[in-house]
Structure 1
Amino acid sequence: MPMRKLWVSLAAATLAVAATSGVLPAQNLHQQFLHPPDDAKPMVRWWWFGPAVTADEIRKEIDQMHAGGFGGFELASVYPLAVDDPAKGIKNLRYTSPEMVNMLQVAQQHGRELGMRVDLTLGSGWPFGGPHIPLEMAAERLKLVALAYNDRTSPPPVQPGERLIAKFVAAGTPEHWDHAAPKEFYGNALPSVDGHVRQTNRIYDYGAEQPHDVVLYFIASHTKQMVKRAAVGGEGYVLDHMKRAAIDTHNREVSDKLLQGFAGNKPPYAVFSDSLEVYGSDWTGSLPEEFKKRRGYDLIPHLPELWQGGTPQAEAVRHDWGVTLSDLVRENYLKPMADFAAAHGTKFRSQTYGEPAATLIDDLTPQLAEGEGPQWNQFSFTRWASSANHLFHRSVTSAETWTWLHSPAFRATPLDMKVEADRMFLEGVNQMIAHGWPYSPPYAQEPGYSLYAAAVFNAHNPWWPVMPAVTRYLQRVSWLLRQGEPANDVAILLPEDDAQAAFVPGHVSVTEGMKQRITPELMKTVLNSGHNADYVDGPALEQVTLRSRVLLIPPTTRMPLQEAQAIAAYRQRGGKVIFVDTVPSLAPGLQDAKDTPALQAVIAALGSSATRTSMAGLSDTLRSIVPAAFDVSATGGAVGFIQRSLPDRDVYFVANTSPETKTFPLHVSSTHRTLTWWEIESGTTAHASNGETVTLPPYGSRVLIASDEAAAHLRPAPEHEVSAVPLTQWQVRFPGSASSAAVPQHAVVDTDWTADPATRFYSGAAVYMTHFAVQSRSGQHLLLRFADGKALPDTQPANKPGIRAWYDAPIREAATVLVNGKEAGVLWHPPYALDITPFARTGDNTVEIRVYNTAINALAGQPPRDYTALKAKYGDRFQMQDMNDLQPVPSGIIGPVQVVTMQLEK
C-alpha cells in the first residue's frame, strides 16, 4: 500500500537519530538516580480559567510549582469560572488577544528563570477549533436520508452547508432496505464535492412507482461538534482534521498568535494537542477523489454497502474507507502540525488516538507521542504511545496522568497518585504530565478552583507540604526508566485491519476497536506469565527490526500480504511467532482480494516454525518459548514489572498494584548475575538473590538492578523487635481552625477528628505532639510505627473512569514527622513506619506529627457553588462531577502509634 511506503524514510531518519544517543556510564547510575536531572520531574497541566489571569498570580503559582518539585507546566486555557468584576480585579481576557498573549509572555519568562519546561496547548479547550473555523472547515460526517420512493423530494433533502454526494434506489423500506439489490445511481446528474456537475454513466429507472422502493440520499454533512470547555473567545466548531486548509487556518489564527508570547528565539519546549475526540468525523470533501487515487476504485457506488455492512465485500470497502481516513488525518493534520512545530523551533506533542481513525504508526509523525490511561493490564492509550516510542527508539514517553483520579476534585491523596503513577510506569511512561493545576486567584473561595473532573495538585491542597516527597519519587523512577533500551519480550501485533473492516458510519476509531480485540484476558495472560509487552502494527513491523523475542498475533482475520511477509522475515531472523486461536486468512481491502491466496501461502509456509495456541494455553506456551523475564505468577496478577536493558546491566521497576501485601519468590532471567535492590525513596541498596522471598506492601514498589559487578551491597542483617512502647498524652492542635480553642488540649491520638463537631469540617493540618524516652544501646534502631491499614473492596462501577487506592490508611492522608525539632521524614503510603534513629537522643525526646487531610471536609461544610450568573453569561460549558453530596471523610491518625526498638542479631 502507498501508506506503508510513506513511512520508510521517516522511520530511517528516526532510527539514525536514535543511533547517536549516548549511554550513561554504569558507575554513575546510582548517583544520578539519587540526584536525577530536572527534566525528569513531573509537569502539570496548568488550567487558566477564562482566562482571567494576572502577572502577579502567574508568578506566584509558578514559584509554588517549582517549590513543590514540578519541572514544568503546560499552558491550557479553558472555560471561565467568574464573570468580569472590576471591583475584584476579575477580567476574562479574550483568547488569543494581545492581553492574553502578554500573560503567556509573563509565564514563559518566569518559568525559564526557574529552569522550568514550558509547553503550550495550541487551542482552547479541545479538540482544535474555534470562531475562526467556518462550517465548511468544520468536522464532517457522512449522512444518509432514506425516503420511500413516493415521498421523494425535489430538490433532495439537503440542509444549508451540506452537499449531496450520491442518490440511489433500493428495494425495501426507509428502515430496512437491501443494498444487495440493484443500486445504480438514480437520475442523470449529481453535484460533485467541488461543486462541479458530475455526469453518471448509469441510470436505473424503475418505471412505475412501487410502494416498497426507497430512495437513498448520501449527504456530506457536519458533526457540528463545538470546542469543549472553550475559553472566552475560543468558542466555535471543531475543525476537520482531514482538511489541510482547516489546519492552516487554525495555525494562522490561533497558533501564530499564541506563539507571539514566546518571541525572541524562546519557543516553548513543545506545543500540544489533546486526544482526538472528534466524535462522528468520518468524511471530508476530498475523500472520494483521494479514495480513488489511493485504493484504485470509486467509493461512491459502494456507499450503500459501506453504510449497511453485513457482507465480506462491505467489510472490505469499510476497511479501505478506514485506511483512507487514516491517511488523510496523517497527511493533513499530524504532518502539518509536526512541520509547523519544527519550523518554529519546537516539538509537536500529540495524543494520537481516538477519532478520527489514527493508527499506531501515526505516533511516529509527532515529535513527541503521549499516552493517557492507567489500564496497565488491559488495552490502553498509554501503552499505545509507549510502544510507538519503543519501536522508533524514542527514550521519553509522556502521559496525561491522574485524569480522573479519585473523584470528586480535592478528594485525591498522595497514595492515590502513587497507585496510578506506578501503573503508568509499568506501561512504559517516564514523563508524568499531572492533570492538573487549576489557576486559583485570591478571590476564589478556598480551597480554590478546580477543573470540572480532575484532581487538584496545587498549593491550595491541604496535603501540599508532602508534595516534594511525591514528586521526588516520580522524578527518580522517571529518570531511571529512560536509561538504556526497553526490554519487553513480547510484541503484540494489533489487528488494525480487522478494526477498520468493522468501522461503521459515525464510529471510526482504531483504538476503540482494539479494546475488543486486545482483550483484558490476553493482556493479563501475557503479563502474569512474567513478560511485559509492546504493541506493533503492520506498517511498523514492515519497517523496523523488531527487538522483542516473541511476536504474538491475537485472533486476526484480515492481514495485508506485506504484513505476513514481514512476519516471515521476523521469523527467519530468529524471532518466535505465536498465533492465538486463529490465523489470518483474508487480504483486507476490496482490491486486495487477489492477494488472499498469496497471504494464505505465506502463513502456511510458516508451518511448524510458528506456534499456534489457544487463549487458555497461551501462558504455558509463552513460558515454554521464552523464560519469564521476571516471574510474578505467584501474585495472581497483582504485581507488574518493566525492564530496561543497558549494556552492562538490567533495570527492573516492580510494583504491587493491589491494596494487599504480596509475597513471592524472586526469579529473574537476566544474564547478569549480581542482583541489588534499590529503595526508591531512601536510596539505600541491598544485595538480592534469585529464590529469596520478596515482600511488597500494599501499593509498594522497588527497583532491582542486575549487573556483573561484585556484590558490594550487604544483605540486611537479621533483626528482631525488642520493645514496642505506645505513645500517649498527645497534645493536638488545629492551627488553621477558627474553633481550635474548643478542641481538648490532650486527646487520644487514634480518634478520627471528624468525630468532633468542632473539627468535623476542618481541612488542613493537625499537629500532634508528645514525648518519649530512649535508653541508647548499641546495635539498636528506632521505628515510629503506626497501625496497620487494611484493604477495601473495589466498589467502583465498571463504566466509571478513574482510579483510586482501595486502602484504609492509618494516616489520613499524609504526614510530616519531626523528632526533636528536626524533620525525620514524611509518610504518604504504606508501610506507615519511619526510622527515627538518627534524630533520637538518650533521654527525653519530642515527636511532632503534622497530619494533612483533603479539602473535601471543608467543601462539605460549605454551600454548593452557585454558577447561575456565570452560565447565564457564558452558557453551560462545564458540569462539576460528584460534588452534589459531599460528606467529610475520616481524618487524622487512626489507630495507635508506637516507638519500636529493633535489635540487630549477631
Structure 2
Amino acid sequence: MLSIKNNFKIVIAWALLMGAQTASAQVGWPSVTKQTKPWARWWWEGSAVNKKDLTWNMESYHNAGLGGMEITPIYGVKGHESEFIQYLSPQWVDMLKFTLQEAKRLNMGIDLANATGWPFGGPWVTDEDASKELFWKNYDVKGGEKLSEPVVFVQQPLVRADGQTPKISDLVEPISSNKNLQLMALDQVRFEKRIPLTVLMAYDGKGEVLNVTDKVDAGGKLNWTAPVGEWKLYALFQGWHGKMVERAAPGGEGYVIDHFSKPALDHYLARFDQAFKGQDLSGIRAYFNDSYEVDDARGQSNFTPQFFDEFIKRRGYDLRDHLPALFGKDDKEKNNRILCDYRETISDLLLDDFTKPWHDWAKAKGTLIRNQSHGSPSNILDLYAAIDIPETEGDDVLRFKFATSAAHVMGKPLASSESATWLNDHFLSSLGDVKHAIDKYFVGGVNHIFYHGVSYSPQNAKWPGWLFYAAVHFNQTNPFWNDFSTLNQYITNCQSFLQQGKPDNDVLVYYPLFDSFSEPGDRGLLKHYDAMKPDFKGTGFEFSTEEMLKKGYTFDFISDKQILNLQTSGNHISTGGLNYKTILLPDSKYIPLETFSKIVNMAKAGATVVVYKNLPSGVPGYSRLNEREKEFKNLLAGLNFTTKNNGVKMAEIGKGRFLIADDIASLLDAADINREQMTDKGLQFVRRIYKNGNSYFITNNGDNEVNGWVNLTIKAASVMVFDPMTKNYGLAKIEKQTNGKTNVYLQLQPGQSCILQTLPVKIQATGYTYYQAVGKPLNITGAWTLNFTEGGPTLPKSIKTAQLKSWTDLGGDDLKAFSGTVSYTISFKKPVQNAVTWQLNLGKVNESAEVYLNGKKLATLIGPQYVVTIPSAQLKAVNQLQIKVANLMANRIIDMDKKHIPYRIFYNTNFQSHSAGSKGPDGLFTAINWEPKPSGLIGPVTLMPVKSLRIK
C-alpha cells in the first residue's frame, strides 16, 4: 500500500505536468517553467564526477537555458580510471544526492535512467533473470522404435564487443568477475554449455500429440517407444540470449534482463531499492528507460520460463500442441495464426510483466517514468500508453506519432523526444540544423525536448573535453555554446504554448498490428516495431497516413486495447479528454473481433467510421477461430453499402455510418473532415485547443518564402502571431471566409516558424508588423576587421579585408585549423535613402552570429536566415557594426586528426562514422581526410529599406 507521503508526491508530480494542460489561453507569452525549457540527457562517463565540477556543469547548463537533466551513467574516459565511481555504490548515491541538491538550488529538474547505458541490466542480473532464447531440434521416430540419439542441445560460444574483443576462452563466469570490462565493452556473450530441455513433443501428423518430456532422463536419453505411425519430435531448449548492457558504466556491466519475466524485473529493481534505502531522493522527477534494443544482436530474446503457462492463460490453448505451426511446418494459414498468437503473448508479457510493474515501482516512490517503447516486439502504442511520458527519437514525423498518439489518446500532457542524436557526421551540425530537427518534433506532437546529449566534463579537461559517441556535441567546448541559449530560448517559447491546452486532431487511425503479427519475418520468430519500416512499408496504413500528413489532415494512431475504451457522444469519439471526429481503418486484413464489434457499436451510437479501400476480411489468431469468424461475418453482413459521390460508398448503421473509398481525400471529405490547406504552401503544423480557442505551431519546411494569406480550418474573430525566435508578437491581419473559416496573413522565410493563437472574440492589441521592401538592398562595403576572440588551437592575429569569404581562405594553417569565435567589425554611413525601417541581412554565415550595432546587441542569429530588423532611429550618421561569428568544431578536429593528437580517449565506441569520407581503417570516425569547412561571415551583408505592409 502506498504511503500518504508518496501519494502526495505523485499528486504533486502530476499537478506539475497537468498545470500546463489546464492553463487557459492568454494574450502574450505563457509563463516559463523548468518544464517548458529543453532538457538534456546527461552522460556521466565512468561516473567520474566530483562535486566541484558537478556544480560548474550544472550552472553552465542552467545559464544556457536548460530546464533539466537526465542522468545516464556511461562508459568511462581513459586515464581517469582512478576517478571511476561504481554504479549504485554509496559514493555514487552521494553524488546523485548532491546533484539533486544543486538542481533544487538552480530550479532544474532531474530524471534518472534505471540503468547504465541500455537496456536494463547489470552485474546483479543472474542467469535465471537474464534474457532467454529458444533453440529447437527435430527428430524422426517410426512406430515401435526408440530415439537413438540423446535429446540434448549444446549452446555454441559467442562473444561480441564494441571494444577489444576477447576470446571466449579468456572469459569466466560470472561476467562481473572479469577484469577490463570497460576496455572490452562486451555486447553479447554466450558460453558453450548444455542448456536445459524445456519440452519434447511428439506429433504423428494425423492429429495425435504427446508430451514426452518426462520420459527424458538426465543424460538426454528418451525412454519412450513410439506408437504406430510416423512421429516427428520437436525438442525445445531454453538458452541464454547473452545480450549485455550496451555502453555500460563501471559497475553496470552485465547481462540484460528477461523483459518478459516479472520476477526478473523485481529482482533487478530490488538492487535500486537496496542502494536507495534511507536516502532522500525526492528530487527525482522520473525514471527513464532507453529504447528496447535487446535484439540488435545475434539471435533473439524470444522466450521466458513461464511462457507456455502464460500462453494458455492468455490465448486459451496449449501452444505445445502446435509447435510444427509455430516453426512454419504446418499449412500456411495455421502457421500464420499460431505465430500471431505467439507474438501477441510476447507483446502482452512485455506490457504486463515489465512496463506496468516498472511503472508501479516508480509510482510507489512518488516519481513518473519516461520510456522509449519503440523497437519492442510488442504493440508499442500499448507500451507508450502504460507510462507517464512517452519518448520518441529519429527524424520521421510518422515515427514520432506512435509516442505522441499514445500521449494524446491516453490524456498524458507530455510527449518527449531524444533529439538531434545523428543529424550529420561528428562535429558538422550547427544550431540551425538542430532547430530544423526540433521543429519536426514539434510538428509530430512532441512538446518536451531532450537533447542527446551533454557529457559531464571537468572544467579543466583538455579540448574538446569529454564527449559521447553520438554526433551532436552539446558541450561547453563547442564554439556554438555561447549561442546555445538562443536555441534554448526558442524551444522554451514554443513549448510554453505546446504544453498548454490539449491536442486538436480529427482522425483516429487504427494500428493494424495483427496484419504484421500474422506474417512471417526474416529474422526469427519475433518482429520489432518502430515506425512504418519494414513491416508496414507499402501498406494502406503507410500510404493513408503519409497522404493525410502531406495534405494537412490531423490524426493520431490508436491500438486495439485503446479502442475498447473509446466513448461516443453524438457523432464524436472521445478518449483522454479529447474529441475525435472519426476512426479510420487503413486497408487492414485482420482485426480482432472485440475491436471490430466495438467499432460497429460506436457507429450505431452515432460515430462515423471511414475505411480506406477495404474492410478487414477476418480475425487474427487460432483460438475459437470458427466461432469468432462467424460472429465477425455477421457484423460485416450488417453493413449494406450504397454508392455516393466521388467513389465513396456509405452504409448507415444505427445513428452512424461507415464510409469506404479508394481515395483518402474523397473519403475524409465525405466524413466532413477538414484539412489545413497550408501544407500546399510547404508549411507544416501542429494544432492544439485550449479554453478560449486554438493554437498552431507552424514552420516553413519548404524552399520558398510564404508571404500571403494562409487558410485555417478554425473560425476566429482574432488571431495573434508570435515569433518564438525574436519573441515579437501582435495581432494578425485576418479575413473571414464565406464558410466561417479564417484566413491569416503570414510572412515566413524558409526555415522560419511562428505560433498562432486564435480567439473567438475581437480583442484590442498592437498589430503584428509585416514588412515590404521599398527599395533595393544596399551593400555594406569597406574594410572589415577580424579579431579572433575565443577558440583554438591558437588565436590567429587580427586580419583586415575588404572581401568577405571563409576565414579558412584568408591565411595560413592557423586559420584553417581554427574553431571558435571571430569578431567582424566595420564602419558604415547611414544610407541617404529615407526609410522608417531597415533589414540587415548577413547573407551566408557559417554558422551562428551575434549582431551588435553601435555597441548594442541586436540579436543572435542561428539560421537558416540571418536577418535582423533595425528601426531607422537606431542608425547614426556613422555606425559601427560588429558581428561575432562562431563556426563548428570540425576544423580543429581535422587539425588534431592530421597531427594525431588524441581526443578519442573513451572506452567503448570512439566514434562511429556516418559517412564514407570519415571512415578510418578501423571503420570508426576520423576527420583526417576532410578539408577545412567554410567558416565565418561570407555575406554579402546588405541593408534593405522596408516599410510596414498595408494588407487589404
Counterpart check, 1:572 vs 2:593? no
1:612 counterpart residue number: 660
Relative to the length of structure 1, the TM-score reads 0.85
Counterpart check, 1:166 vs 2:215? no
Does the 8 A contact of 1:403 with 1:454 survive in 2?
A: yes
Task: Measure how far apart 1:506 and its partner are.
Answer: 4.3
**Matched ranges for 1:121-200 at <5 A:** 121-146=113-138, 153-159=149-155, 160=193, 162-167=195-200, 184-185=209-210, 187=212, 189=214
**Matched ranges for 1:500-899 at <5 A:** 500-502=517-519, 504=521, 505-511=524-530, 515-516=536-537, 517=539, 520-545=542-567, 546=574, 547-593=579-625, 594-607=627-640, 608=651, 609-614=657-662, 617-635=663-681, 638-661=682-705, 665-681=709-725, 682-689=727-734, 690-691=742-743, 694-710=746-762, 712=764, 713-714=766-767, 716=769, 719-722=772-775, 724-727=777-780, 728-736=782-790, 737=792, 740-742=795-797, 744-754=799-809, 756-757=811-812, 758-774=814-830, 780-787=836-843, 810-837=844-871, 840-863=874-897, 879=912, 882=918, 883-885=925-927, 886-899=930-943
Q: 2:317 aligns with which of 278, 297, 301?
A: 297
Report SS of the residue matched to 1:894.
strand
1:6 counterpart residue number: none
Evaluate the alpha carbon distance shift between residue 226 and residue 671 of structure 1 in structure 2; reply closer, same or farther with a 3 A threshold. same
Report SS of the residue matched to 1:899.
strand
Tell me the alpha carbon deviations over residues 223-253 of structure 1, each in whole angstroms, 9 at most, x when there is no partner: 1111111111211111001112211121122
2:28 counterpart residue number: 30
Does the 8 A contact of 1:164 with 1:219 survive in 2?
A: yes
Which residue identity is paired with 1:275? Answer: S
Aligned residues: 837
Task: Measure how far apart 1:557 and its partner are.
Answer: 1.5
Which residue identity is paired with 1:299? Answer: L
2:289 counterpart residue number: 273
Evaluate the alpha carbon distance shift between residue 250 and residue 837 of structure 1 in structure 2; reply closer, same or farther with a 3 A threshold. same
2:364 counterpart residue number: 343
Task: Measure how far apart 1:763 and its partner are.
Answer: 0.5
Does the 8 A contact of 2:325 with 2:335 survive in 1?
A: yes
Relative to the length of structure 2, the TM-score reads 0.82
Task: Measure how far apart 1:43 and its partner are.
Answer: 0.3
Bigger drift between 352-361 and 811-820 goes to 352-361
Does the 8 A contact of 1:187 with 1:203 survive in 2?
A: no
Report SS of the residue matched to 2:687.
strand
Counterpart check, 1:470 vs 2:521? no
Distance in 2, matches of 1:489 and 1:548, equals: 5
Tell me the alpha carbon deviations over residues 241-287 of structure 1, each in whole angstroms, 9 at most, x when there is no partner: 1112211121122x235646x93362400011111122122211001
1:790 counterpart residue number: none
1:8 counterpart residue number: none
Report SS of the residue matched to 1:425.
helix
1:798 counterpart residue number: none
Evaluate the alpha carbon distance shift between residue 203 and residue 560 of structure 1 in structure 2; reply closer, same or farther with a 3 A threshold. farther
Which residue identity is paired with 2:826? Answer: T
2:4 counterpart residue number: none
Consecutive unaligned residues of structure 1, counting only runs of 5 or more, are 1-13, 172-179, 208-212, 788-809
Distance in 2, matches of 1:724 and 1:869, equals: 47
Which residue identity is paired with 2:60? Answer: Q
Distance in 2, matches of 1:838 and 1:46, equals: 45
Does the 8 A contact of 2:111 with 2:284 survive in 1?
A: yes
Distance in 1, matches of 2:526 and 2:201, equals: 23
Which residue identity is paired with 2:584? Answer: L
Distance in 2, matches of 1:466 and 1:15, equals: 33
1:245 counterpart residue number: 263
Evaluate the alpha carbon distance shift between residue 550 and residue 844 of structure 1 in structure 2; reply closer, same or farther with a 3 A threshold. same
Does the 8 A contact of 1:528 with 1:632 survive in 2?
A: no
Bigger drift between 751-760 and 481-490 goes to 751-760
Tell me the alpha carbon deviations over residues 527-559 of structure 1, each in whole angstroms, 9 at most, x when there is no partner: 222212100011101103332212111121211
Report SS of the residue matched to 1:342.
helix
2:243 counterpart residue number: 225
Distance in 2, matches of 1:518 and 1:441, equals: 52
Evaluate the alpha carbon distance shift between residue 186 and residue 390 of structure 1 in structure 2; reply closer, same or farther with a 3 A threshold. closer
Evaluate the alpha carbon distance shift between residue 678 and residue 116 of structure 1 in structure 2; reply closer, same or farther with a 3 A threshold. same
2:739 counterpart residue number: none
Distance in 2, matches of 1:222 and 1:132, equals: 16
Evaluate the alpha carbon distance shift between residue 820 and residue 201 of structure 1 in structure 2; reply closer, same or farther with a 3 A threshold. farther
Task: Measure how far apart 1:37 and its partner are.
Answer: 2.4
Report SS of the residue matched to 1:220.
strand
Distance in 1, matches of 2:222 and 2:138, equals: 22
Aligned-residue CA RMSD in angstroms? 3.4
Tell me the alpha carbon deviations over residues 433-465 of structure 1, each in whole angstroms, 9 at most, x when there is no partner: 110001222464312232112311122110111
Distance in 1, matches of 2:463 and 2:623, equals: 63
2:279 counterpart residue number: 263
**Matched ranges for 1:388-537 at <5 A:** 388-408=406-426, 410-442=427-459, 444-502=461-519, 504=521, 505-511=524-530, 515-516=536-537, 517=539, 520-537=542-559
Evaluate the alpha carbon distance shift between residue 694 and residue 621 of structure 1 in structure 2; reply closer, same or farther with a 3 A threshold. farther
Does the 8 A contact of 1:166 with 1:190 survive in 2?
A: no
Consecutive unaligned residues of structure 2, counting only runs of 5 or more, are 1-12, 156-192, 568-573, 641-650, 652-656, 735-741, 919-924
Tell me the alpha carbon deviations over residues 697-745 of structure 1, each in whole angstroms, 9 at most, x when there is no partner: 2222122222122153536466433453322211111123566555533
Bigger drift between 739-748 and 180-189 goes to 180-189
1:282 counterpart residue number: 302
Distance in 2, matches of 1:878 and 1:852, equals: 24
2:159 counterpart residue number: none
Distance in 2, matches of 1:903 and 1:669, equals: 30
Task: Measure how far apart 1:401 and its partner are.
Answer: 1.2
Distance in 1, matches of 2:80 and 2:216, equals: 49
Which residue identity is paired with 2:99? Answer: A
Which residue identity is paired with 1:416? Answer: D
Report SS of the residue matched to 2:669.
helix
Distance in 2, matches of 1:15 and 1:266, equals: 14
Report SS of the residue matched to 1:677.
strand
Counterpart check, 1:116 vs 2:108? yes
Tell me the alpha carbon deviations over residues 121-178 of structure 1, each in whole angstroms, 9 at most, x when there is no partner: 010110001111122211112222346779963142244363223335689xxxxxxx
Task: Measure how far apart 1:561 and its partner are.
Answer: 1.5
2:181 counterpart residue number: none
Which residue identity is paired with 1:266? Answer: S
1:4 counterpart residue number: none
Report SS of the residue matched to 1:610.
strand
Task: Measure how far apart 1:205 and its partner are.
Answer: 5.5
Task: Measure how far apart 1:601 and its partner are.
Answer: 2.4
Q: 1:320 aligns with which of 321, 326, 341?
A: 341
